[in-house]
Structure 1
Amino acid sequence: MSVEISNVTKRFGDHTVLDRLDLSVKAGSHVTLIGPSGSGKTTILRMLMTLTEPDSGTITVDGQPLFPAAQKQRRAVRRQIGMVFQQFNLFPNMSVLRNVTEAPVSVLGLSRDEAEARARELLDMVGLADKCDARPSRLSGGQQQRVAIARALAMRPKVLLLDEVTSALDPELVAGVLDVLRDVATTTDITLLCVTHEMNFARDISDQVLMFDAGRVVEAGPPEQIFGAPEEERTREFLSAVL
C-alpha cells in the first residue's frame, strides 16, 4: 500500500512539529526517517495510526483518505496498518501465544484455531516457537519485542510502522530484533516506514532515507547517497554525530 502525505502541518501549542510536510511512500517500499529527536518523525507514525490528527493537509493510504475523513473511513484504513512501538505493550496476564492471537480473533474475526496456527508460524519466524506458553515477564526485552513484531504481523498489515523499536533494549539484545526485521523486509511485500537511530540497519533495509529537521524533510535519497555522499550540511552534521 502506498502512503501520501500532502501539505501536512501539526502544532503542539506554539511548537510546530510538522511544517507543510509532503511525503510519498510507494507500495512495497522501505522508507526510513532519520534526524534529531523532536523533528517530527514519530508524529508522522502516530498520525498514520490515527493517534493524533494533523491541523491541516491530507493523508491517504492506497488512495483512500485517512485525514480528513469520517471515523468509519479512518477505522477501515487504519485496519490495514500495523505498528511496533518503542515499548512492547504486551498483555502481562496473557501467554505469548494469546498476545499474538487476541487481536486477529477479536478484530479480524478469525477462528481461534486459525489465529493460533498463524501465530505459531510467526513465533517460529521470530525465533520464539518454544515460548508460546510463557508469560511476557519470563522473557528478555529482546524476546518481548520480537513477540510484539509477531503480534503486529498477525494482523496482516499492508503497511508496518516501526518506531525506534530497539531504543528500550540493552545493546546486546538489539541485533536479534534487527535480524527479525531484516527478514520481514526481505521476505514480505509489506510497506515499511521506519524511525530509527540504528544507521546501519537503515542502510541495510531502506529503499529511501529521509533526513528530518524541524518538521521538514531536509534531504531524501537512496541510502548510498544519504550515508555515502549527503548533499545537505544539516545531514552531514547529524550523521557525523551519530556514526
Structure 2
Amino acid sequence: MSADTTDTTDTTNTTDTAESADTTAPPGTTDLIRFENVTKRYGDHTVLDDLCFSVRPGKHVTLIGPSGSGKTTILRLLMTLVKPDSGTIRVNGGQLYPAPESELREVRKDIGMVFQQFNLFPNMTVLRNITEAPVRVLGLSKDEAEARARELLDMVGLGDRCDAKPTQLSGGQQQRVAIARALAMRPKVLLLDEVTSALDPELVAGVLDVLRDIARTTDITMLCVTHEMNFARDVSDEVFMFDRGKVIESGPPERMFSAPDHERTREFLSAVL
C-alpha cells in the first residue's frame, strides 16, 4: 500500500480556497467519523495540514485528488497504521486519537479495510482467511465464523472456493476474498484504498460490481480512495477533493464531476476523466 506521501503535482494554480472549504457536518448532527485539526508530517513534508472533515453514518464518501494530497494517509490513520502529529480523530463516538491503547483497540473493531494489495495469508484456505479475525478478535465460535464466511463468499460469488488457497485464485477473486474478510468483522466503516489498482483491467469490473452491491444493500459507511471516477460517481453520496493536505471542496458527485467550483478540481478531473 502506498504511503501517499509524495507530491509531484504542480499546485501553483491552487488558491487559498482550501482554507475555507466547509467539510464538517451541521451542528447537532452525529458524525460517524470526525477529524478535528489533524496534522500529519513525514519529516519536513506535511501530508495533512490541520485537516477538519466529517462523515455521517451510512454515507458513501469518495476521496479524490493527486498523489500525495493525503488521501491514503487518512485511511492509514483510521486503521491506526500511523499516528497523527496533532489533532483529534473520533469514530462511532469513541476517540481514536489521542487515546489509550485499550480504547484504541475497541474503536478499531468498528473499522474494516480493503487494501491495494490483497494481503491474504497464502498458507491458509479462503475460508480460514475470513474466519481467523472474527474468531481471534471478536471471540466468535468457529461454527459461527464459518457460517458468516460462507454467506459472505456466496455474496461475492466465491461460495465454491472455500477450500482453495489464495495462489489458486485470480487477482480479482483474491480481492473479492479480501472484501469478504473485511465484512466478516461487521464493521461500521469500510475503508477502500485503490482496491482495483493491482488488478488487470478485465478483472476490475467484477470487483467494482461487488462494491456497488455492498453500497446498495447495506448501511455500512464507506470511505473510498479511487481513481475509478465512474465508480465514484455511481456509489458516492459525497466527493471530497484533496490537494496539499486539505479538502479544497466537497459536494454531491453530480456537481463535483459536472460543475466543480474550484479550478484545481477542474484541472484534476480534466486529467483523469
TM, length-normalised to structure 1: 0.99
Match of 1:31 among 56, 61, 69: 61
Match status 1:90 vs 2:131: no
- Aligned equivalent of 1:194: 224
- Structure 1 unmatched runs, 5+: none
Q: Secondary structure at the match of 1:59?
A: strand
Q: CA RMSD in A?
A: 0.7
- Aligned equivalent of 1:5: 35
- Aligned equivalent of 1:232: 262
Match of 2:175 among 130, 141, 145: 145
Match status 1:99 vs 2:129: yes
Match of 2:154 among 124, 144, 147: 124
Match status 1:22 vs 2:32: no
- Aligned equivalent of 2:212: 182
- Aligned equivalent of 2:7: none
Aligned equivalents of 1:171, 1:56: Cα separation in 2: 39
- Aligned equivalent of 1:57: 87
> CA-to-partner distance for each residue in 1:124-144, whole Å, 9 max, x for gaps?
000001111111001000000
> CA-to-partner distance for each residue in 1:144-168, whole Å, 9 max, x for gaps?
0000000000001011100000000
Q: How many angstroms does 1:219 deviate by?
A: 1.0
Match status 1:158 vs 2:178: no
Q: How many angstroms does 1:64 deviate by?
A: 1.3
Aligned equivalents of 1:79, 1:71: Cα separation in 2: 13
Q: How many angstroms does 1:218 deviate by?
A: 1.1
Q: Secondary structure at the match of 1:127?
A: coil
Q: How many angstroms does 1:63 deviate by?
A: 2.0
- Aligned equivalent of 1:74: 104
Q: How many angstroms does 1:193 deviate by?
A: 0.4
- Aligned equivalent of 2:3: none
**Partner amino acid, structure 1, of 2:231:** F
Show structure 1 runs of 4+ deviating over 3 A: none
Q: How many angstroms does 1:106 deviate by?
A: 1.0
- Structure 2 unmatched runs, 5+: 1-30
Aligned equivalents of 2:268, 2:217: Cα separation in 1: 31
The alignment of Structure 1 onto Structure 2 pairs a total of residues equal to 243
> CA-to-partner distance for each residue in 1:161-204, whole Å, 9 max, x for gaps?
00000000000000000000001111111110000000000000
Aligned equivalents of 1:23, 1:162: Cα separation in 2: 18
Match status 1:113 vs 2:143: yes
**Partner amino acid, structure 1, of 2:53:** L
TM, length-normalised to structure 2: 0.88
Aligned equivalents of 1:107, 1:54: Cα separation in 2: 25
- Aligned equivalent of 1:167: 197
Q: Secondary structure at the match of 1:147?
A: helix
**Partner amino acid, structure 2, of 1:26:** R
Q: Secondary structure at the match of 2:160?
A: helix
Q: Secondary structure at the match of 1:130?
A: coil
Q: Secondary structure at the match of 1:89?
A: coil
Aligned equivalents of 1:197, 1:31: Cα separation in 2: 13
**Partner amino acid, structure 2, of 1:83:** M
